[in-house]
Amino acid sequence: QREEDVITVRTALGQKALTVMSRNIYLGGVIAPVLAVGFSDLKALAPVAGRVWEEVQANDFRERVVILVDEIEAARPDIIGLQEMARFLTLERKRPEGSLEVTGVLDFQELLEEELKARRLPYSFVAAQNNTSVAVPVEGIGLDGGFIPTRLVQLTIRDAAVVRNALDVQAVSQGHYQAVMNLGVDAIGNPIELKRGWIRVDTTVRGVPCHFVSTHLEIQPFSRIQEQQAQELLTEIVADLGGVTVLMGDFNSNANGSFGDPSWTTTYGEITSAGFEDAWALANSGETSGGLTCCHESDLKNSDPTFDQRIDFVFLRASNLKGQGTRIFPGLVDVEIVGADPSIRTTPSGLWPSDHAGLVVYLGLGLSPSGGQPGGPPLS
C-alpha cells in the first residue's frame, strides 16, 4: 500500500477513520532449540540457551524499537495489539553455593514507552498480559559430578494493548487460556507452562460499541492446544458481543496454506466460520497468495523479505445493536502491511524491526469496504 494512498484515504475520512495495528515485535531469538533439548539436563541446555541469548542481544531491541515506533508515528493507530513484548532478566551466582542476583534487565515495554515519550506521541499502555516465564542457564560449572548454573536468563513473554490517549477506554479485561502445555520445571525450580493470553479493550466510537481483542495463539507444532485456545476465544471471550468486534494478533494459522502443510491449522477456518471477516481478504478481494507476514530470518539480516506464511490477522465482525449478525463489515477502508520494505531496516546493524510484518487496518464506520456507500446494515 503506497503511503500517499493511505494519507488520501485518511484525509477523505477525517475523524471517521478508526485505525487498528497488530504487531508481533519478536522476542529476538528462536526458542525452538531450547524446547528440543528440554529442561531436565541443565548442562546440555546451557550452551543451547546461551546461543539463543546471544541472538537476542545481537537483534538489539534498542535499535528495533526506533523503527517500530516509526511505524506507529506514521500510521497513527487508535489501538495497537502487541505480541512477544519480552522481558529478560539476567541472574548471576557469584559463588557455587551463593544465591542468584539480578544483574541486568531488558524490558521491551520500558523501551517502547521511553521511545513514545521521547517523541511526545500520545499513547499509553492499558494492559500487559504476562504469559510464559522460564529461567534457563547460559553458563555454569561442573561440581561433584553435577552442574551448577552460574549465569541464567529469565524470559517472560507478554502481550500488550496500547491506545491513543484520545480513545475513550471504558473497560479492559485480560486472562490466560485454559489450554496450556506443561514442560516440567525450569533452572530455578519453577513450573514451566507454555501459556497464551488475551486482552480485550471495550469502547464506544460514535455511538457504536467496539470491542478490540488482541491475542497470540500457540505455534503450529502444538496445533491441538492452539485449536482449543481458538475455541475458548470464540465461545468465551467474544461470543455474543454487539456492535463491532475486532480480533487482532498472531494466530499461527496460515490462511494461504492447506491441509497437511506444517503451517496450516484449523484455527483460521474456525474464526471465519464464526462470522469474522479477514480484513486483508476483504481489502484484497480475489487474491489468494498475498498478504504474507512471516517470517524474516531469525537473525533479522536477510536482505529481502523471506515471508511464506500469512498468520497475522485483523478479523472483523459487525452486528446491529439487536445482535443480528452480518457478513458485510460496513467500514473497511484499507489494509497496510508494514515491516516488509528493506529501506526501513535499522541503523547501524541493518536489522528488520521484527521477524514478522505488521498489519495496519483503516476502518470507516458506516462506509462500505470500498469506502463508498454503506455496504451493510447500519450499526445504529
pLDDT digits (tens, 9 = 90+) for 150-168: 999 999 999 999 999 999 9
Residue that is written with C-alpha cell 475486532 in the block:
246
* Mean pLDDT estimate for the chain: 89
Instruction: Please give the average per-residue pLDDT across 182-187, as a whole number.
Output: 94
Residue that is written with C-alpha cell 454503506 in the block:
374
Question: Residue 199: its pLDDT value, please?
Answer: 98
Question: Residue 319: its pLDDT value, please?
Answer: 72
pLDDT of residue 377 exceeding 50: no
Report the b/e string of 33-72 with b at 16+ CB within 10 A.
ebbebebeebeebbebbbebbeebeebbbebbbbbbbebb
Question: Residue 14: its pLDDT value, please?
Answer: 45
Question: Residue 19: its pLDDT value, please?
Answer: 93
**Can you say whether the dihedral through the CA atoms of 280, 215, 240, 258 is positive or negative?**
positive
Question: Residue 52: its pLDDT value, please?
Answer: 98
Residue 110 vs residue 368, higher pLDDT:
110
Please state, in angstroms and as integers, the Cα–Cα distance from residue 160 to each residue in 24, 69, 139, 211, 291, following that order. 10, 15, 31, 15, 24
Round to whole Å and give the CA distance between 244 and 380: 11
Round to whole Å and give the CA distance between 26 and 56: 10
Cβ(45)–Cβ(34) below 8 Å:
yes
Residue that is written with C-alpha cell 466460520 in the block:
273
Question: Residue 123: its pLDDT value, please?
Answer: 98
Q: Is 323 exposed, middle or buried (0-12, 13-18, 19+ CB in 10 A)?
A: exposed
Residue 357 vs residue 369, higher pLDDT:
357
Question: Over the Cα atoms of the chain, what is R_g?
Answer: 21
Please state, in angstroms and as integers, the Cα–Cα distance from residue 280 to each residue in 5, 166, 178, 270, following that order. 16, 26, 29, 17
Q: Which amino acid is at 268?
A: Y
pLDDT in tens, 67-105: 999 999 999 999 999 999 999 999 999 887 788 999 999
Round to whole Å and give the CA distance between 235 and 179: 14
Which residues partner with 156 through β-bridges? 87, 133
Please state, in angstroms and as integers, the Cα–Cα distance from residue 104 to each residue in 87, 192, 268, following that order. 11, 22, 39
Quote the cell numbers at residue 17.
Answer: 477513520
Please state, in angstroms and as integers, the Cα–Cα distance from residue 95 to each residue in 101, 137, 146, following that order. 11, 15, 15
